[in-house]
Amino acid sequence: MALQEIGIQFADLGDIFKVKEIKGKNIFSTGVAVTAADRTGRLAVVTERYLDPSRQYITADDLNENGLYIDKYEDISIPLVSKHDGLVVASFRMIQASENLGLPMQNSKEIIISAEWQNKVDEAPFELSQFAKALSHKKYPQPSIAVIKAYMAIADQLGIKEAIAVIDDGVVATLNGPYSGFDLPKIGPSVYYLGSSSTPVFINIDNVRINARNNGHPELADFLEGKKNVPGFEWYVGP
């Protein structure tokens, strides 16, 4: 379902969820990347991640004249960022389903989807991708949690609770592990994809919140549900 089908334009999302310009060592300001600087900052984080020697997904030959990696899905995506002390340090995007382009998971020859999940993949309204942190903030957990929270707020606003994603196996282990307890369903086997071993998963944000709460993380669940002044999440500024 495209944004236009539910009466929402990208400009509307930008007005509601634009990342705020708030600096501070203990603040991670998060939201939709609207300005050219924030969009470029997001792409720089993604480019840095894909050029990482441990991944080696792209080379300098794949970059544009500005030294950035941009794929064919960029123009149909909602770009999210998290900023720390004024700098973009995390990326996330929501790729809208498109009749012309489809979604990356639908188009991939590498990804194998279990038969019982194929309809969910075929009908997915969004694919989540380019979930990355700047190498400078590799050890910070806040940026990753922040962009997930912002995504859920937008999904709530749109009334679109489901999405698909192909996620690095290490990240899946973290999201489904003892800290987060998301229990994201794996909908196919792990494959080598975009420079790392990755697994296709299905996301239902209501289930994610329930699972986090049931797995012993009520504060995280409260935070992801949009409750205010949740202890331990005072660093977050965003939707």
pLDDT in tens, 147-179: 999 999 999 999 999 999 999 999 999 999 988
Read off the pLDDT of each residue in 197-218 and give the average, rounded to a whole number: 96
Helices (H), the chain: 10-17, 36-51, 104-107, 118-122, 142-158, 169-176, 205-214, 218-224
Per the CB < 8 A criterion, the answer to whether 169 and 197 are in contact is yes
Read off the pLDDT of each residue in 219-236 and give the average, rounded to a whole number: 96
Alpha-carbon separation of residue 152 from 38, 60, 225 (angstroms): 20, 34, 8
In this prediction the pTM is 0.92
Containing 31, the helix (H) or strand (E) segment is strand 28-32
Read off the pLDDT of each residue in 22-29 and give the average, rounded to a whole number: 88
Dihedral angle over CA of 202, 144, 161, 166, nearest 10: -20
Read off the pLDDT of each residue in 205-212 and give the average, rounded to a whole number: 97
Split at pLDDT 50, 70, 90, the class of 11 is low
The number of folded domains in the chain is: 1
Residue range of the domain that includes 172 = 3-237
pLDDT in tens, 98-126: 889 999 999 999 999 999 999 999 999 99
CATH number at residue 31: 3.40.630.30
What is the pLDDT, as a whole number, of residue 6?
A: 44
Per the CB < 8 A criterion, the answer to whether 134 and 83 are in contact is no
